[in-house]
Structure 1
Amino acid sequence: MTNTQFKLNAICAAMLITSPVSYAAQENETTVQSDVEVIQVTGIRSALSKSASIKQDSSGVVDAISAEDIGKLPDTNLAESLQRISGVSIDRANNEGNQVSVRGFGPGFNLVTLNGRQMPNSSVLQEAGVSRSFNFREIAAESVSGVSVYKTGKANVASGGIGATININTAKPFDFDGFKAFANAKAIKDTSSEKSNVTPEISGMVSQTFADDTFGVLLALSHSERESGRERVGTSQGWVRNRANAAGVDSSAIDTTVNPTGTYWVPWTPEMERFETKRERQNAQLVLQYAPNDNITATLDYTLSRFEETSNTNKMAFWFDNPTGTTDANGTLVDIKNANDELNFWAWELYEEKENDSLGLNLAWQASDSLKLTFDAHNSTSHSNPDGDTAETIANLKNVPGSVKSISANFSGDIPSIGVDDSTLAGGAYNPANIVSDLYQRRGYEMKNTIKQYHASGQWENLKSGALSAINFGVMYTDYQIDTYLSEQFSFVDIPLDNLGLTFDEQGDFADEFSGSDQLFPFIPRYSANDFVDIVRDEGLFIEPNISTNGVEEQTLAIYVSFDLKTEFNDIPIDINVGVRYEDTDVTGYSVKPGVVAFNYRHAEELRPVFAATATPQELEGGYTRVLPNFDISADLDDGFKTRFSYSRTLARAGIGGMFPSTTINARPEGPFNASQGNPNLLPITSDNFDFSVEWYGDDGSYASVGYFKKFVENFIGAGVVQGTLNDVNGEPLRDPSVNPRPGCPDSSDTPNPACLSQASDPIVTFDIATPDNLQNREVDGWELNAQYMVPDTGFGVVANYTIVNSDESFKPYDFDQTIALAGLSDSGNLVGFYENDDYQVRLAYNWRDDFLLSLGTEPTFTEAYGQLDFSFNYTINDTLGVSFDALNLTNETTRRHGRFAEQLVSAEQYGPRFSIGLSAKW
């Protein structure tokens, strides 16, 4: 079951790795030949020592990860390596790290750069929305030489991260002396996959310099495949307040001292579903470098990634149309019943294809002994489903409505216990003869994000005496553009199912890591959503999709200057960095979408907007300027101690999805009537950051630090909701034709029955219109505790860190007017124990994250505490060859998410361990 505390057994295990082989001391660089050939000594200790040196020598608060060898980060996934840094936590998809939170600030509050350049992102799933957040599963960890996490702002570092700016560094040919190459091949076994196939992961790099080291070429390639699975039990569309027949709800147990209004919550559905996912990823990087003399270096690089993922899902569920039941003290309807209903048999296919390309040019000129000038430019794109393929295809089957005598669910445990009384159906609810078609849906984005960035910078070094040691200055122009094409189809259909191939699997050990798994549905359906849609086409019932186009363009001009000073106070060396960054941003948002002609009362559960034949463009503008200062001061004390203080002002730009001008309508007969509108004039979220730390550094890479941080955050964006009307294409308010239905309505035919359309006599609809706005300010503070210790003359080492994060306002479960809460805020900790010598490395790593608010929305979703234990082993056969073994999620941890209270289950997911064995070579 999901962890609720930092597990003591995992901590002890990580610290007790033993080996009889003595440790051979290593230095960072060793001269081994008379011709002064330099060999870079690698390994866990070397990488940790480099990371400690980066932290020690940086101005401000900077943490780092360094590759232990060419093509070898500490973990097989970049996000999973980052989570080892104090204050960094990750979100997982299919039990793999994909996005990071820093100091309690979620992915949207952090900026990810590649070699100092802002990287684009695109997505296809409507539920995921449009995000600026880089997804780390799209880049191979083998291509990364190191990562720096800037937790405080600096004038010369691109803006966009309140939590942190995370810079990923990749190798260049001039990083090496002459020829260098590596190759790595792994076989991966993911126990979560039903097919349980072994999949390959292959990577390699070759680098060479020519013409007396004046020209260099580096080529890095990787290909990986993964098959994974997921067993999920949960609810669909979350929990809803007061959605039931009040006369059928027993609310006598509600504690009115905390819930004075007697509010209760009901889910739409209980469900269990099985995912099977296939993924392929290719990464490539070509780097050319040319140095005609000692003063000029030109670098041309091209970075490519291709990502393709397909998930097939089958789900067993039912829908509570008219629920009754009993609440607990919180107000959660834990014991729910519904008479005369039906079961639902779902099939989904999710498809995502992504093409990322980046072309960059960097010119560095040592203009004089004291002045260095640099120009950097790149054009980068991320394009999801570039061929317009559908991201989500959904199909549903059902029993004839009202044919099942009763359905019920009890949510008092980890997962619900399901009850189905199908005694009224000959052969039962799972008999294909008692199952008919219901609906199909196709939806998803084609999205393209383009970033053009030009950066001219300079550094002047003082070669004479004086406190001023350097001046850094520069100007940066960024053109950020995102275009989305949202396609949506939804229709109830009546089609024959003879050729669908519907079968049922027995539940077996489904979700058996959760207590009560034997009380789920006894079967889960098997059929293809795409096969269902093919039958719809064959029957002539396929409808044309509704297409809407939205986009945002941001143009930002930034100018900065900073000063480095070195001085002494009472014989204590003092380093100071002071700088300021000025930014001016212009924003244009556009939408192209057909206007609404009327509502069509098409189905008892569907009030469908009827759109005009032609689209209407809409464009809105916004803009802002910001001044972002920073001040860092550090003092080197005696005996390896250091103290530092930093102040900086940083910003995170508003989420893209909230800036589209278009209006989206979601309505059902008799309500609810919901709508949303974008706001391109949203201001960025800004933060004044204060950091103070005391640190100690040893000569062998050991260090310890205690740091305190405080953030004053302004302009948090929330959903402002107002009630009002929305007009049709003729400027008249939309009306509800379902209140007083006319004869023949609802009519499910594809051609709307004119009698079922909105008419002047129908009541005007009052919508709850959600519009994002800058609403509130917050304060966040916390502590970061770090320790890294290399046991002398043994080969043993241990790394431990813990982060405590607090906010001045937490989520209040009975405050229904709360529109802002900081998602991702949680404590976290890591413990890593390792042993290495000349022949092998052994590492055991435990990562833990406390429960946190995942998202707010109309109803919140919380992720419960999670801890994962990983193991790795590397053996050096000779100077060229080595073997490795990795095991992730050794204890088969699970993930559980809930609504306002623990019993309001949203999702309980079970994966399984993942293993890999590899062979590597380097030259």
Structure 2
Amino acid sequence: MKNKTFKFNTIYCAMLVAASVGVQAEEAPATEEVEVIQVKGIRSALTKSAETKRYSNGVVDAITAEDIGKLPDTNLAESLQRIAGVSIDRANNEGNKVTVRGFGPEFNMVTLNGRQMPNSSALQSAGVSRSFNFREIAAESVSGVNVYKTGNAEITSGGIGATIDINTARPFDYDGFTAFITGKGIYDTSVEKGDSVTPEISGMISQTFADDKVGFLLSLSHAERDSHADVVGTDGWVRNRSRDNVDLSGIDTSRNPEQAIWTPWTAKTEHFDTERTRQNAQAVLQFQPINSVVATLDYTLSRLEETSYTNRSAFWFDNPSGTANANGTLWNPRDQDDELNFWAWEYYQQKENDSIGFNIEWQATDTLSFEVDIHDSTSKSNPDGQTAETLANLKNPSGSVALIGADFVGDIPSIIVDDSNVPGGAYNKDNIVSDLYQKRGYSMDNNIKQYRVAGTWENLSIDSSLTRINFGVMNTDYSVDTRLSEVFSFVDVPLTDLDLGFIPLGNTADQFPGANQLFPYISQYDVNQFIDIVKSEGKFAEPNIKTNGVNEETFAAYVSFDFDTEFHDMPVKMNVGVRYEDTDVTAYSVQNGIIAMNYRHAQELRPVYNDTATSEELTGSYTRILPNFDFNISVTDELMARFSYGRTLSRAGISAMFPATNVNARPGGPFNASQGNPNLLPITSDNFDLSFEWYSDDGSFASVGYFKKFVENFIGAGTENRTINDVNGQPLTDPSVNPRPGCPDSSDTPNPACLGQASDPEITWEVATPDNLQNREVDGWEFNAQYMFADSGFGVVANYTIVDSDESFDPYNFDQTIALTGLSDSGNLVAFYENYGFQARLAYNWRDEFLLALGNEPTFTEAYGQLDMSLSYDINDTVTVSLDGINLTDETVRRFGRFEEQLLSAEQYGPRFTFGVSAKF
């Protein structure tokens, strides 16, 4: 794996800037007359962003479009990561969710033109996130983004890290007729199936009529993308499973006194091919009947359809032997007399987002103005109930392969397969049989109805330091309804008609050392063809249906006061405000009751449900007061000091509030269960910011800021060991401990002898229930600089963020159920040149190692740095050509478990380039 450090790339980019400035200085004759050039593009956008930061209450950073339909990056999240304190998580080699000051996506509120927007997921594994996914909106439709890092009474609550407001264009923003159209070709170097070059087209037209009293704007975009990823890893690491054949002598008992061990579930190599189509549209009608009134009616639409096909060669460790290292990791697992597995997956996501809103601004008097904003927005995933996930597994006959194993050393494991006792080899179709299939249909409907009435009173008196009073009320009705359709079954069907083949590994994961020691072949077959065979054999089972939902209604009211005064002839601005919020929560679950546990397979202990669905409903409520105080003083015309205090909140995750009880068990354990808690309190944070900022008239600035957050009510999984009752009120029992004759029985119709009975041992479940468990302190530093080299056209932007917490993740603390995900340092270095119609930018972004998720076992993402570039040339005042490059140095992503050797996934994507032509009118 390439492991370039941030330091190296920082020096590299700094050298490029210095060299470019030197060349410019040498080429410009001393006697040359200065040409007056209109400031636009990159420099104009950066200057406007600096002005937003300078004149805002509290700490606000911004991104401004360089021109009509031209945000700095091809992806909105990729642009946001250039802001100090903002880092992103990537999926399929593009940014999708953001972390701000160490707080992950669930701790940040994303709004569109000040409105809270819904979000839905088509995959159960993704859960229900309140955070908007930035890949769903085209960057060309965005005119700017404001990141509010401190609390403000006027801003929609929900973000401890930040509130991120995406702004889109309005017809009254332009003078008369304005339009642009852009056509692009996306060249993805990773593609193995599909088209290496895919189209993207976007455009906008805006016009005002009737002496600029009426305006209409329409923006459209259509983008297609095919991509490929190589993934190497395992499906997870489990603690204290299969200890009997493991050498524990190498464990460092000073760090691991319990001699806990971790064994991998699997070892795998897979190809991931994805095809995606995204469409965005926005129609805006504005009307100004009189000078004091502006009314806006808008409709926003986005559509996303994505299908991913996966083929995987793997094996499963049932009872591995080997040696544990000093940490307790079984780094060299081996299984005798086993089998290889050949998986096929299809993931399908269809998302439909629609928002209709109405806004009216009224300047009632010279001093009093009002604004009313109403919107009804819906996000639906797989709205017609189509299957979201389909998978199948084929295998060698059990015990036919002499030895399987893996050495988890280095970035990726070395795979060991001894199939010498299999005539024709383990990859011969004649030596492969069916194993299992699974189908999940996951549909979600997330709706937000929101109204806001706001007012502002301007104090025109010159004798008072009070300049403005802001006030308003808001009501938000937030609802989520989900439906999970799931079937899982081991099956024995003929494979005669299955189109099964194998392809050589080739250059799979070749950016990682040791890629030549993986599986020699990747299996190739269509999972849906396999499902058709299962159906034709009459072995397709009926799905189990679960329905969950949450309704959350919040009423808010706020008032704030703005003051302008002086202290020793230094201008002082202050904002003092308070926000009141009252929230009521109702959560429900509908599911069938469990009759008994069925010992169906050596690796499966499955619940058997009755035919009667029952509903369960739980409620909760809370009230919060959120004050804020912002103070800034202009020490000189260029130097400013700023202090801010604000209380912010983030609400509990939706999935954590579903009251349903879910069980997950394997013969011999573990026996895990979970239940939601709609009475969770919001996580609140008292935030303190202190910063010093220097500004120059040409858009250059530098700032250093310190922030401290005192966070209360962090949500973690409180666990208890207890029994769970069946539909008759009796504890569920384990039929696998002393199996009766004929069990396990993999029949689709449960064998009564294989069901748990009263004489079997009662199962003690480890039941996880989310609860407000801990308080935390988070602090950090933000360093930010932006400098324009006079009229040379050169400039540089650099920032670095340090984030720390009073409690870090302890890999040997097995009772730790709370950890701050996303906490990491990050930095950016951007060099650019802009003159004579030519624009060039080289941008490097780096993020340190961070905790991605904390479940039964943690998931960490290794430090990652990416180099991007963009070039454009204005052929004339109308036409511009461009070239963008993403991940130029072919960086890879590696995620691991409790320790670095516990690889979860090593992912390789390749660079991506975009060629474009745009015209503006």
Tell me if both proteins adopt one fold, taking TM over 0.5 as the criterion.
yes
2:340 to 339, 343, 347: 343
2:458 to 461, 465, 489: 461
The one-character-per-residue Cα deviations of 1:127-161 (angstroms, maximum 9, x if unpaired) are 11111111000000000000000000100000000
Name the amino acid aligned to 2:337.
N
Name the amino acid aligned to 1:202.
I
- How far residue 608 of structure 1 moved from its aligned partner, in angstroms, is 1.2
**Quick one: distance in 1 between partners of 2:307 and 2:860?**
27
The one-character-per-residue Cα deviations of 1:280-318 (angstroms, maximum 9, x if unpaired) are 000000000000011001000000000000000001100
Which residue of structure 1 aligns with residue 699 of structure 2? 701
**Quick one: distance in 2 between partners of 1:87 and 1:292?**
43
Name the amino acid aligned to 1:283.
N
Q: Secondary structure at the match of 2:125?
A: coil
**Quick one: distance in 1 between partners of 2:612 and 2:15?**
65
Name the amino acid aligned to 1:394.
L
Matches within 5 A, 1:59-138: 59-138=57-136
Moved more, 102-111 or 263-272: 263-272
Q: Secondary structure at the match of 1:609?
A: strand
1:158 to 156, 159, 163: 156
The one-character-per-residue Cα deviations of 1:867-906 (angstroms, maximum 9, x if unpaired) are 0000110000001101000011000000001111111101
Which residue of structure 1 aligns with residue 390 of structure 2? 393
Name the amino acid aligned to 2:173.
D
Which residue of structure 2 aligns with residue 36 of structure 1? none
Q: Secondary structure at the match of 1:764?
A: coil
Which residue of structure 2 aligns with residue 11 of structure 1? 13
Q: Secondary structure at the match of 1:300?
A: strand
- How far residue 673 of structure 1 moved from its aligned partner, in angstroms, is 1.0
Q: Secondary structure at the match of 2:79?
A: helix
2:856 to 847, 855, 858: 858
Name the amino acid aligned to 1:362.
N
The yes-or-no answer on 1:359 pairing with 2:366 is: no
CA separation of 1:480/1:151 partners in 2, compared to 1, >3 Å: closer, same or farther? same
The one-character-per-residue Cα deviations of 1:590-639 (angstroms, maximum 9, x if unpaired) are 00101111111111111111111020000000010000000000001114
**Quick one: distance in 2 between partners of 1:561 and 1:323?**
64
Name the amino acid aligned to 2:752.
P
> Does the CA-based 8 Å contact 1:840-1:875 persist in structure 2?
yes
Name the amino acid aligned to 1:559.
A
The yes-or-no answer on 1:382 pairing with 2:379 is: yes
1:529 to 527, 530, 552: 527
Which residue of structure 2 aligns with residue 33 of structure 1? none
Moved more, 695-704 or 496-505: 496-505
TM-score by length of 2: 0.98
**Quick one: distance in 1 between partners of 2:335 and 2:742?**
28
The one-character-per-residue Cα deviations of 1:729-772 (angstroms, maximum 9, x if unpaired) are 11111111222222222211111112222222112111000000
Q: Secondary structure at the match of 1:76?
A: coil
Q: Secondary structure at the match of 2:172?
A: helix
- How far residue 438 of structure 1 moved from its aligned partner, in angstroms, is 0.1
Matches within 5 A, 1:299-318: 299-318=296-315
Q: Secondary structure at the match of 1:690?
A: strand
Q: Secondary structure at the match of 1:311?
A: strand
**Quick one: distance in 2 between partners of 1:64 and 1:393?**
42
Which residue of structure 1 aligns with residue 688 of structure 2? 690
Matches within 5 A, 1:471-486: 471-486=469-484
Name the amino acid aligned to 1:397.
L
- How far residue 4 of structure 1 moved from its aligned partner, in angstroms, is 5.8
1:905 to 897, 903, 906: 903
The alignment covers a number of residue pairs equal to: 909
**Quick one: distance in 1 between partners of 2:256 and 2:664?**
29
Moved over 6 A (4+): 21-27
- How far residue 13 of structure 1 moved from its aligned partner, in angstroms, is 5.2
**Quick one: distance in 2 between partners of 1:735 and 1:331?**
32
**Quick one: distance in 2 between partners of 1:595 and 1:379?**
36
Which residue of structure 2 aligns with residue 199 of structure 1? 198
Name the amino acid aligned to 1:290.
F
Q: Secondary structure at the match of 2:532?
A: helix
Which residue of structure 1 aligns with residue 869 of structure 2? 871
Matches within 5 A, 1:783-798: 783-798=781-796
Which residue of structure 2 aligns with residue 179 of structure 1? 177
- How far residue 24 of structure 1 moved from its aligned partner, in angstroms, is 7.6
> Does the CA-based 8 Å contact 1:24-1:838 persist in structure 2?
no
- How far residue 791 of structure 1 moved from its aligned partner, in angstroms, is 0.2
- How far residue 192 of structure 1 moved from its aligned partner, in angstroms, is 1.2
Name the amino acid aligned to 1:720.
G
1:285 to 275, 282, 288: 282
Which residue of structure 1 aligns with residue 43 of structure 2? 45
Q: Secondary structure at the match of 2:855?
A: coil
**Quick one: distance in 1 between partners of 2:678 and 2:851?**
26
CA separation of 1:366/1:623 partners in 2, compared to 1, >3 Å: closer, same or farther? same
**Quick one: distance in 1 between partners of 2:77 and 2:146?**
13
Percentage of identical aligned residues? 69
**Quick one: distance in 2 between partners of 1:258 and 1:736?**
35
**Quick one: distance in 1 between partners of 2:749 and 2:254?**
53
Q: Secondary structure at the match of 2:45?
A: helix
Which residue of structure 1 aligns with residue 807 of structure 2? 809
Name the amino acid aligned to 1:768.
E
- How far residue 525 of structure 1 moved from its aligned partner, in angstroms, is 0.2
Which residue of structure 2 aligns with residue 34 of structure 1? none
The one-character-per-residue Cα deviations of 1:59-86 (angstroms, maximum 9, x if unpaired) are 1000000000000000000000000000
> Does the CA-based 8 Å contact 2:2-2:512 persist in structure 1?
no
Which residue of structure 1 aligns with residue 448 of structure 2? 451
Name the amino acid aligned to 1:330.
N
The one-character-per-residue Cα deviations of 1:83-106 (angstroms, maximum 9, x if unpaired) are 000000000000000000000000
1:324 to 321, 330, 337: 321
Q: Secondary structure at the match of 1:335?
A: coil
- How far residue 3 of structure 1 moved from its aligned partner, in angstroms, is 3.6
Name the amino acid aligned to 2:132.
F
The yes-or-no answer on 1:557 pairing with 2:555 is: yes
The one-character-per-residue Cα deviations of 1:385-427 (angstroms, maximum 9, x if unpaired) are 0111111100000000011001110001110001101111101
**Quick one: distance in 1 between partners of 2:683 and 2:246?**
43
**Quick one: distance in 1 between partners of 2:907 and 2:328?**
25
**Quick one: distance in 2 between partners of 1:667 and 1:239?**
16
The yes-or-no answer on 1:507 pairing with 2:505 is: yes
TM-score by length of 1: 0.97
- How far residue 245 of structure 1 moved from its aligned partner, in angstroms, is 3.7
Moved more, 498-507 or 16-25: 16-25
**Quick one: distance in 1 between partners of 2:910 and 2:20?**
24
Q: Secondary structure at the match of 2:234?
A: strand
**Quick one: distance in 2 between partners of 1:741 and 1:335?**
32
Q: Secondary structure at the match of 1:533?
A: helix
Which residue of structure 1 aligns with residue 624 of structure 2? 626
The yes-or-no answer on 1:272 pairing with 2:274 is: no
Matches within 5 A, 1:530-679: 530-679=528-677
- How far residue 648 of structure 1 moved from its aligned partner, in angstroms, is 0.2
Name the amino acid aligned to 1:469.
T
> Does the CA-based 8 Å contact 1:14-1:834 persist in structure 2?
no
> Does the CA-based 8 Å contact 1:234-1:271 persist in structure 2?
yes
- How far residue 670 of structure 1 moved from its aligned partner, in angstroms, is 2.1
> Does the CA-based 8 Å contact 1:2-1:896 persist in structure 2?
no
**Quick one: distance in 2 between partners of 1:254 and 1:245?**
13
Name the amino acid aligned to 1:499.
D
Which residue of structure 2 aligns with residue 415 of structure 1? 412
**Quick one: distance in 2 between partners of 1:72 and 1:360?**
25
- How far residue 42 of structure 1 moved from its aligned partner, in angstroms, is 2.7
**Quick one: distance in 1 between partners of 2:482 and 2:260?**
39
CA separation of 1:358/1:26 partners in 2, compared to 1, >3 Å: closer, same or farther? farther
Which residue of structure 2 aligns with residue 230 of structure 1? 229
Which residue of structure 2 aligns with residue 767 of structure 1? 765
**Quick one: distance in 1 between partners of 2:814 and 2:292?**
63
Name the amino acid aligned to 2:248.
S
